[in-house]
């Protein structure tokens, strides 16, 4: 079988140039069908480049290289797929950190089930690394007990009880923290650095998405006349309503009842009453919409993403919360498509999750307005 070339796919109609991001596999690695090879960065999103066949990988475009749609990024030699030891194939596929023990080429189904149980898929492993989660914390629901992406997302949203965290002593004193009835707090993707006193300077290359976002924010500030107003809202009734029904809501709809669902629903109703806010300026014309495509700002590993909830005015709060969870999970996994981020008519950003009291959100052009929600205080 001849060598199979993997070409840069077209991310969208208006995009002809991309940048090669982080390679998830090394030159010479064995890859499986549909396995993510590297990240392709565009001005709006980061997309995966996947293996179309199984075999041995050869990389042509290094990280940071600029490429056109249709360029060959790498190739896969299917003839080399059988030259890798069986135990190495198992290790690569299931993402184990330990080298596999020598195994026979033929395995029973029970042996495969035991090996799969508790092992995350590549996509699940990536999220676990970002959130600082361990396989022992998650119950796998995939074939043979394998941990899937949805299992990780579900584990992140479940409250924990009587959690005990013990750290190694920093000096001669032991540090022990006990937390009861807590909600899991995602850990930082970067380890906390210990002061060395060496006055080191570190430089990190900005991704294409971050560079474009920076340019866009500066452009909006310079080219638009923005007005920011501040208003207080009594959230007591919403707070009481959520406290009363959140448990039953989650059991019935299999999604947590958050405040963002109320925000989106309220904005959708208000935009129907004030259509000028749900509009855009196109040259000398004002374009108004009889629907609401609500952009929700999400902090993702690659930068700020604004996925869009389509026809938010027609959705129930349960449907809105379900869509928010789906889009937020895809943003964390860097799997949002351009179609999921284009065409919003209004945006909401929630600085309250970071504890901020006030902010001045920047418009998401060509939209006419943006709403910033902040910390709820008693």
pLDDT for 13 equals: 65
Task: Give the count of domains, the chain.
Answer: 3
Q: Does some domain include residue 273? A: yes
Please enumerate in sequence order all residues whose Cβ is within 8 A of that of 128, keeping only pairs 6 or more positions apart, or say none.
Answer: 120, 134, 135, 138, 152
CA atoms within 13 A on the CB side of 9: 13
Q: What is the extent of the structural domain holding 44?
A: 1-84
Alpha carbon distance 237, 269 (integer Å)? 18
Domain CATH number, residue 59: 2.40.50.100
Q: Which of 44, 59, 84 is the last residue of a domain?
A: 84
Q: Are residues 299 and 348 in the same domain?
A: yes
pLDDT for 184 equals: 47
Q: Does some domain include residue 63? A: yes
pLDDT for 368 equals: 92
Q: Does some domain include residue 190? A: no
Q: Does some domain include residue 187? A: no
Q: Are residues 104 and 17 in the same domain?
A: no
Q: Exposed e or buried b for every residue in 346-368, given b needs 16+ CB within 10 A?
A: bbbbbbbeeeeeeeebbbbeebb
Which stretches of the chain score pLDDT less than 50?
A: 84-115, 159-189
Domain CATH number, residue 156: 4.10.320.10
Assign residue 197 a region (left: φ > 0; alpha: ψ between -120 and 50; beta: otherwise): left
Q: Give the mean pLDDT of the chain.
A: 79
CA distances from 124 to 92, 155, 184, 257 (A): 14, 11, 17, 24
Q: Are residues 242 and 303 in the same domain?
A: yes
Q: Which of 120, 146, 168 is the last residue of a domain?
A: 168
> Could you tell me whether strands 17-23 and 66-68 are parallel, antiparallel, or unpaired per DSSP bridges?
antiparallel
Q: Does some domain include residue 125? A: yes
pLDDT for 373 equals: 93
Give me the residue label for tokens 């074939």.
143
Q: Are residues 56 and 153 in the same domain?
A: no
Q: Does some domain include residue 191? A: no
Longest dimension (CA), the chain: 72
Q: Does some domain include residue 174? A: no
CA distances from 291 to 308, 309, 367 (A): 13, 11, 14
Q: Are residues 247 and 339 in the same domain?
A: yes
pLDDT for 110 equals: 41
Q: Are residues 1 and 41 in the same domain?
A: yes
Q: Are residues 108 and 161 in the same domain?
A: yes
pLDDT for 190 equals: 52
Q: Are residues 227 and 366 in the same domain?
A: yes
Q: Are residues 146 and 222 in the same domain?
A: no
Q: Does some domain include residue 181? A: no
Task: Give residue-wise pLDDT tens across range 348-377.
Answer: 998 888 888 998 999 988 899 999 999 988
Q: How many CB atoms are located within 10 Å of the residue 295 CB?
A: 23
Q: Are residues 352 and 284 in the same domain?
A: yes
Task: Give residue-wise pLDDT tens across range 66-124.
Answer: 999 899 999 999 987 655 444 444 444 434 444 444 444 444 444 334 435 667 776 67
Could you tell me the pTM of the whole model? 0.57
Assign residue 130 a region (left: φ > 0; alpha: ψ between -120 and 50; beta: otherwise): alpha
Q: Are residues 340 and 265 in the same domain?
A: yes
Q: Are residues 215 and 313 in the same domain?
A: yes
pLDDT for 274 equals: 94
Q: 283 by DSSP, 3-state: which?
A: coil
Q: In what order do the strands lie in the sheet with 30-31?
A: 4-7, 72-77, 55-59, 30-31
Alpha carbon distance 52, 13 (integer Å)? 22
pLDDT for 81 equals: 66
Domain CATH number, residue 317: 3.30.559.10
Burial of 247 (0-12, 13-18, 19+ CB in 10 A): exposed
Q: Which of 168, 199, 222 is the last residue of a domain?
A: 168
């Amino acid at each position: 079988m001849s060598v199979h070339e993997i070409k840069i796919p077209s991310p969208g109609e208006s995009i002809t140039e991309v940048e090669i991001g982080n390679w998830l596999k090394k030159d010479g690695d064995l890859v499986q069908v549909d396995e993510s090879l590297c990240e392709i960065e565009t001005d709006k999103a980061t997309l995966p480049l996947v293996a179309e066949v199984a075999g041995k990988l050869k990389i042509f475009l290094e990280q940071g290289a600029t490429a056109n749609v249709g360029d060959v990024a790498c190739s896969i030699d299917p003839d080399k797929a059988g030259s890798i030891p069986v135990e190495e194939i198992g290790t690569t596929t299931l993402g184990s950190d330990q080298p596999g023990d020598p195994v026979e080429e033929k395995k029973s189904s029970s042996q495969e089930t035991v090996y799969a149980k508790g092992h995350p898929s590549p996509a699940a492993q990536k999220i676990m690394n970002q959130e600082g989660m361990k396989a022992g914390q998650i119950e796998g629901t995939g074939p043979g007990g394998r941990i899937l992406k949805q299992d990780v997302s579900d584990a992140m949203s479940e409250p924990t009880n009587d959690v005990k965290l013990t750290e190694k002593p920093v000096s001669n004193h032991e540090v022990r923290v006990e937390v009861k009835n807590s909600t899991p707090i995602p850990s930082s993707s970067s380890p906390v650095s210990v002061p060395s006193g060496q006055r080191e300077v570190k430089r990190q290359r900005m991704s294409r998405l971050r560079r474009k976002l920076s340019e866009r924010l500066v452009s909006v500030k310079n080219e638009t006349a923005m007005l920011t107003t501040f208003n207080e809202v009594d959230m007591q009734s919403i707070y009481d309503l959520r406290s009363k029904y959140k448990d039953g809501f989650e059991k019935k709809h299999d999604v947590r009842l958050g405040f963002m669902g109320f925000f989106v629903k309220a904005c959708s109703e208000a935009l129907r009453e004030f259509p000028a806010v749900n509009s855009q300026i196109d040259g000398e014309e004002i374009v108004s919409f009889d629907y609401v495509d609500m952009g929700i700002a999400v902090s993702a590993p690659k930068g700020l993403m604004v996925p869009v909830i389509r026809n938010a005015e027609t959705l129930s709060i349960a449907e809105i919360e379900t869509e928010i969870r789906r889009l937020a999970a895809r943003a964390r996994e860097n799997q949002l498509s351009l179609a999921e981020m284009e065409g919003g008519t209004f945006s909401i950003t929630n600085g309250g999750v970071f504890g901020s009291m006030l902010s001045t959100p920047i418009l998401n052009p060509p939209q006419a307005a943006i709403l910033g929600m902040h910390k709820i205080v008693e």
